[in-house]
Chain A
Amino acid sequence: MNKPLPTHNLSIYVANRPGALARIAQTFSRRGFNIESLVVSAGVTGDFSRMTITAKGDAAGLEQIIMQCSKLVDVLACREHTDEEVVARELALVKLAVDSARRGEVLQIADHFHAKTVDLSETSIVLEATGSSEKLDAMVDLLRKFRIIEIVRTGKVIMARGERET
C-alpha cells in the first residue's frame, strides 16, 4: 500500500503580473502535484501578491518545485514552512439544513468551536468558523450528522512566527 503523501505549506511572494499565477500552477501540475488549496491576496503593496499553497506530494518533488518556482522571473521568494513555524488560519462557512427542533444541538457544537451564526432561517443556518484547518475539519466532521447543504472554505493562510519571513 502507498504511504499517504505528506501535506506541505508553501508561501510564495510574487510580483503582481499577468500570468504569474498560471506559471506557478504549471510548475505544480507538471510534476503531478495536486494543489489542495491556493490563496492569493495582495501583499504589503499592490505591486506584490502573496500566495499560500498547500499541496500533497513527496519531499524530493517538493524541493524541485520550490526551486523551479523560485526561478520564475516574477517570484521574489518561495518557502516551505512546517506547521510549528507558522500561525495558520482558515475560515469556513457551513450551511446546514436544520429546523428549530435541532438548532440547539448545532449551536452547541458551534459554541464549542467558537463559530458564529451569520445567517439564520426557518430551515437553515450558516456558521462561520475560523482557526486551524484541523480544527475546522473536526467541526465539519461533527456537523455531518446534520444535513450539510454547502461548505465554503478559504484555504489555509500562514504567517511565519516572530522575526522569520513568511
Chain B
Amino acid sequence: MKKTYNINEKGYYGEFGGAYIPEMLYPNVEELRQNYLKIMAEPSFQEEFNALLKDYVGRPSPLYFAKRLSEKYNTKIYLKREDLNHTGAHKINNTIGQILMAKRLGKNRIIAETGAGQHGVATATVCALMGIECIVYMGEIDIARQAPNVARMKMLGATVVPALSGSRTLKDATNEAIRDWINNPVDTHYIIGSVVGPHPYPDMVAKFQAVVSEEIKRQLLEKEGTEDPTYLVACVGGGSNAAGTYYHYLDNEAVNIIAVEAAGLGVDSGESAATSVLGKEGIIHGSKTLLMQTHDGQITEPYSISAGLDYPGVGPMHANLYKTGRAEFIAITDDDAMKAGLDLCKLEGIIPAIESSHALAVFEHKIFKPDDIVVLNLSGRGDKDLQNYIDYFKL
C-alpha cells in the first residue's frame, strides 16, 4: 500500500487516532462514522456546501502576496486570508459543513465547545442560519476573559453554558459537551471545533477545512505557475486550520510543512501549550494522540496568551506528522507572537488573530531562501484580540 499521511480505513493516522469513547457515545459516533463520507459525497451536499462557502462565507479567500513582509525577510510570502471569512476565521468552513451534516442526519439540536469563543461564534452563526437550537459549552474562566464573543453568541441566539468542572477552560468545556451528547443521544449533533476527538471527527473536520489547500493550489498556480509552495506554515491549536492548509499536500513531500505551536512563556517554563514537545502519547477526548499530562496520566492545563492555541492535546493527524518527521514543529512564545502580530499591522495593514501571529513569528526563527515560496495560513483576524493587544502593548 502507498504510504500516506492521511487517515487509514480504521480511523488512524499512523498509530494516532481511533475512537476511545465510552459505550454511551458509541451509537452517536458510529452513526456519524457510517454516514459522513456518503453524505459528503452527495451532489446536493456538495452543491449546498459550496454555495454557502461562496456566498455566505465569502470564499475563495484571497491568496495575498505580502510584498513588504516578503522584502523584510527576503523571501516570497503569501498569506491565505482566512481572516476575511465571515465571522473572522477559518472556523466557519467546518461549522458550515457540520451543520449541513447534522441536518442530513436528522438532528435538531446542536452542541459545541469553545475556548476563545471563535468556534462558538461560528457554530452559533450557522445555527442561526439554519434555525437550529444551539448550546455552546464554555469554561467559566474563558467566559470571563472573552466577553465580546459570549455576547456575539447570545446575539446569534445561542445558549452559552458555563463549564464549571476541572480547570474551567477549553478541555472542560469539551468534557461538558461530550457529557451533553451522552445525555442526548438521539436528537443532538456535536459540532467539534477542530481536528480532534474520536474518529471520524478529525477526518471530517480536515475534509471540511481542505477547501483551504484546494484553493491554494489553484491560486498559486495562477500567481507562480506552480501548485506547490516550498513551505506551508500554519499555527496549531487542535490543528484544523493547519489540516486544511496541508490537506492536499500531505503526501507531496516536495512541499515542506511547518506547524507552529504556542510556547506560552517558554517551552520549559511550565506555562506552555507546545504539545508536540511537552506531550506524550495518550488519550484525550476519545483520540489517541500527543497530549500534555502528568507522569501518572492526568491531563494538565496548558498556557498560551492565545486562547485558541490553549489546548493540551493536538489532532492525531499532527501527532503523526510530528512523529514521522513529515512536518517541522516550531514553538513560539507569547512575546514573539505579539511582536510578529504588530509587525504585520505595520507592514501590511492587517491585524491578525493572536493564533495567526504565532505562525507569523516563524520568519524570525527560520531563514528562508529568496526564491522560497512560503504560504502561511492567516487563520483569523485580530478584532477578537483587541483587548489582549491593548493590554500587552499598553495601547
A joins B in a complex: no
Residues of chain A having any CB pair with chain B under 8 Å: none
- Chain B residues with a Cβ under 8 A of chain A: none
